[in-house]
Amino acid sequence: MPPLWSGRFDVDPDKDVFAFGKSLGFDRRLFEDDVTGSLAWAEALVRAGVLSAADAAAIASALEEIREQGLWEPAFFDGAEDEDVHALVERKLVERIGDAGRRLHTGRSRNEQVSVDLRLYLKRRVPALQAAVARLVAALADRAEAAGDALMPAYTHLRRAQPVLVAHFFLAHAAACRRDHARLAAVLGEADELPLGSGAVAGTSYAIDTAWLARRLGFSAVVANSMDAAGDRDFVSSFLHACALAQVHLSRLAEDLILYTGEEFGYFELADAVATGSSLMPQKKNPDPLELVRGKAGRAIGHLTGFLAAMKGLPIGYSKDLQEDKEALFDAEDTLAGTLGAATTVVATLALNAEAAAAASAGLLLATDVADYLVARGVSFRRAHEIVGGLVRRLVREGRDFASLSLDEWREASDLFDANIAAHITPRASIEARRTPQSTAPDAVRAKLEDVKAWVAAHGGV
């Protein structure tokens, strides 16, 4: 079968160059959406008085049949030489019903067809990614709940900073994941405009009721400008960005868990089922799945930057460069789905080593609480910081921490320290002293946990 545009040319296309331009190998993933768009387009043509009801009925039943075969018969695509999925569907249609099939493309361009297909595809597939994000949030909430009142150190600059509840740590990652979910929802909003009616670039000269067609296909609006619509892939870029940033969050979660499950930290233990061994060193329990979760962020970021680079020099309207959108989009989707699945399993099976985590949350990382103690007794924060800094210098020199100080030693630093100082300077007292709703105060964390659980229940529950 010659290409859809062969009439204009004296000779057949060069085989290799044609193969270079073919997208069927990957855009067949849009097959179902292409048929959906074509079914609606046939109805719109009838309403515009361009297509007879009889032709439309023949087109509809043939397209339905094509859809069933394409979805369920593995051999359907075998040996297809078509340039892209749009050409394939049209060829199958013409093979079945002849001339009526040749009328379907009236007033329509593949430029708008590929756009509507991609938009329908995202509307169909993004909710599955959102559900996978919600499953990870549920697993994080579950670990937060199971951790109870266990403590661990929080880090800044990867140096022990202040004690926090282990639950606070899990909910921190859940907060980032919830933003990923919202970002994917925004992508759906951006994809939610009907491009059909734009023609190749200037609009169509047939009386297509675009408002009706938008409703028929589940879009809430029609694009504003046909020239813009032909080359607008902002919704693809936004999707790639949402995927890349979600992968960055997953990578940071993975990095935390790689560190905290290692010998040097030991706050958590990886389940055997999600760890790997070494072919050489019998003692090794490696976090390969987490390392891959971390590593996959690179390719997701690459898809975003690569596609933005492909877009940046394009003149307004359609250019074939835009065909590069699909492999980036599909791989970003597959990568995110796979990464979310692995990360969720690792989190769900993580065991807490409460003693090690608690032990690491005591010690000099209570210095800020000592300064706050002096501030409560009228010392300016800067002065208090200086006094405690001096005390810390001494403790470091002597290899001790606050818990070992006698009252006399406290008072050498400041006579504002009272006998109650020891009770104030513990990891538990530190977290209980927090006052703000986003803090690690136990009441605040409990409230956030309830909020996250309610969110999970409202987003598919698990």
Binding site for ligand ARG (CB under 6 A): 23, 27, 84, 110-111, 114, 318, 320, 322-323
Which one-letter DSSP state was computed for residue 280? Answer: S
300 CB-contact burial (10 Å; exposed 0-12 / middle 13-18 / buried 19+): buried
In angstroms, rounded to a whole number, what is the distance separating the alpha carbons of residues 244 and 257?
A: 20
Q: Which is nearer to ligand ARG, 314 or 413 (CB)?
A: 314
Q: Which residue is nearest to ligand ARG (CB)?
A: 323
Q: Which is nearer to ligand ARG, 114 or 347 (CB)?
A: 114
In angstroms, rounded to a whole number, what is the distance separating the alpha carbons of residues 92 and 80?
A: 10
Catalytic residue among 157, 205, 279, 406: 157
Catalytic residue among 61, 278, 380, 404: 278
Least distance in Å: CB of 316 to ligand ARG?
15
Least distance in Å: CB of 8 to ligand ARG?
13
What is the end-to-end Cα distance of the chain in Å, rounded? 49
Antiparallel, parallel or unpaired: β 159-165 and 151-156: antiparallel
**Phi/psi-derived region of residue 58, left when phi > 0, alpha when psi is between -120 and 50, beta in every other case:** alpha
404 CB-contact burial (10 Å; exposed 0-12 / middle 13-18 / buried 19+): exposed
CA distances from 191 to 187, 200, 331, 388, 402 (A): 6, 19, 18, 56, 58
Q: Which is nearer to ligand ARG, 256 or 325 (CB)?
A: 325
Q: And the tokens for 138?
A: 């549920």
Q: Which is nearer to ligand ARG, 310 or 354 (CB)?
A: 310
Least distance in Å: CB of 453 to ligand ARG?
43
Least distance in Å: CB of 84 to ligand ARG?
4
Number of C-alpha atoms within 13 angstroms, CB side, residue 441?
A: 11
Q: Please report, to the nearest 10 degrees, the dihedral formed by the alpha carbons of residues 232, 234, 240, 244 taken in order.
A: 150
Q: Which is nearer to ligand ARG, 115 or 430 (CB)?
A: 115
Identify the helix (H) or strand (E) that includes residue 420.
none
Least distance in Å: CB of 328 to ligand ARG?
12
- Is 303 an annotated catalytic residue? no
- Is 278 an annotated catalytic residue? yes
Q: Which is nearer to ligand ARG, 113 or 339 (CB)?
A: 113
What are the catalytic residues? 157, 278
